[in-house]
Amino acid sequence: MEVFAGSHTYGLIDFETSDTTSGNVLDQTVRNPEQYGRLLATPLAAGQMSVHSDLLLHGSLPNNSNRRRCGLTLRYCPADVHAYLGWNQKGVVVSGSADANLWPGAQRPSTR
């Protein structure tokens, strides 16, 4: 994986939709990403993981192996946050309560 060190301090960085042939998983491309920090290679071996801010510009070369590469994103925020991009439709309240108008999304799993 490659990261642009310090890019997370810029907040949400504008991006463009990637060309459909780019193979970019999230279909997002940042123009001139080096303006946001120093490019660092952060190799991960099989079974390793990275925990980082979702604001950190990061990416990797295509997976050319016959083994699956997996990503998992978890975001936590206070219940009074106004979410965009439909995230409030997917959110699950994990503690306390939230305004149903702000967070109408998924129901909290039952504890059977």
What's the pTM value of the predicted model, to 2 decimals? Answer: 0.71
Q: Is the pLDDT of residue 9 over 90?
A: yes
pLDDT (average), residues 10-27 = 87
Q: Is the pLDDT of residue 110 over 80?
A: no
Residue 15's pLDDT is 93
pLDDT (average), residues 9-15 = 94
Residue 47 pLDDT class (50, 70, 90 cuts): confident
Residue 83: name the closest of 109, 57, 101, 58 by CA. 101
Q: Where would I find the beta strands (DSSP E) of 20-110?
A: 28-29, 38-41, 58-59
20 token code pair:
């459909």
